């Protein structure tokens, strides 16, 4: 017979940690599964999504030019990429990755935006973008992750 020496307070703390961990792990992927929809007619039905468990910071670019890859670095075609206004979350421009996973949105005025990607069965990505015509030209990489526990897709600047 073993004796459980864990106090009630310790048990409550462990339970709360379990809840918080579950929430953080699920906040990106689980909500995406509930709100996911297939996009028909290309990407014209793209909707704003933000399932990020935390903000990664703003990415400053001269234009939106990048490539979508899965966790193995394989380019992913047919990903919908939408540019939304930062404040009102209105869809301003949309494109779709080509057969090589490449995407580009040009002639975007300087300002702050949100960039969103969607393609089943991947988790949607959402990033804060600042377009600055004087910024250094950079290539974006969209890291796509399959929907699942503790899975988040993300945009980053190519290193």
Contact indicator for 128, 154 with CB cutoff of 8 Å: no
pLDDT in tens, the chain (159 residues): 556 565 666 655 544 444 333 333 333 433 333 333 334 357 878 889 887 776 778 999 999 999 999 999 999 999 999 999 999 999 999 999 999 999 999 899 999 999 999 999 999 999 999 999 998 899 999 999 998 866 788 888 876
Whole-number pLDDT of residue 148? 82
* pTM strictly above 0.95: no
Indicate the pairing of strand 64-69 with strand 140-143: parallel
Cα separation, 82 vs 96, whole angstroms: 9
Whole-number pLDDT of residue 155? 84
Cα 83 to Cα 4, 71, 77, 88, 115: the distances in Å are 55, 23, 18, 12, 5
- Going from N- to C-terminal start, the domains of the chain cover 35-157
Contact indicator for 117, 80 with CB cutoff of 8 Å: yes
Which class does domain 35-157 fall in? mainly beta
- Using the structure block, give the residue that is written with the tokens 């377009």: 131
């Amino acid at each position: 017979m073993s004796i459980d020496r864990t106090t009630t307070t310790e048990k409550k703390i462990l339970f709360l940690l379990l809840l918080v961990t579950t929430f953080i792990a699920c906040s990106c992927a689980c909500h995406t599964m509930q709100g996911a929809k297939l996009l028909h007619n290309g990407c014209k039905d793209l909707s704003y999504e933000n399932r990020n468990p935390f903000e990664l910071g703003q990415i400053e670019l001269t234009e939106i030019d990048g490539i979508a890859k899965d966790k193995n670095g394989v380019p992913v075609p047919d990903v919908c990429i939408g540019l939304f206004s930062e404040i009102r979350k209105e869809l301003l421009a949309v494109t779709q990755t080509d057969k090589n996973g490449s995407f580009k949105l040009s002639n975007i005025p300087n300002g702050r935006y949100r960039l969103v990607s969607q393609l089943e069965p991947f988790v949607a990505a959402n990033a804060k973008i600042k377009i600055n015509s004087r910024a250094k030209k950079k290539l974006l990489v969209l890291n796509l992750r399959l929907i699942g526990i503790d899975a988040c897709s993300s945009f980053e600047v190519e290193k």
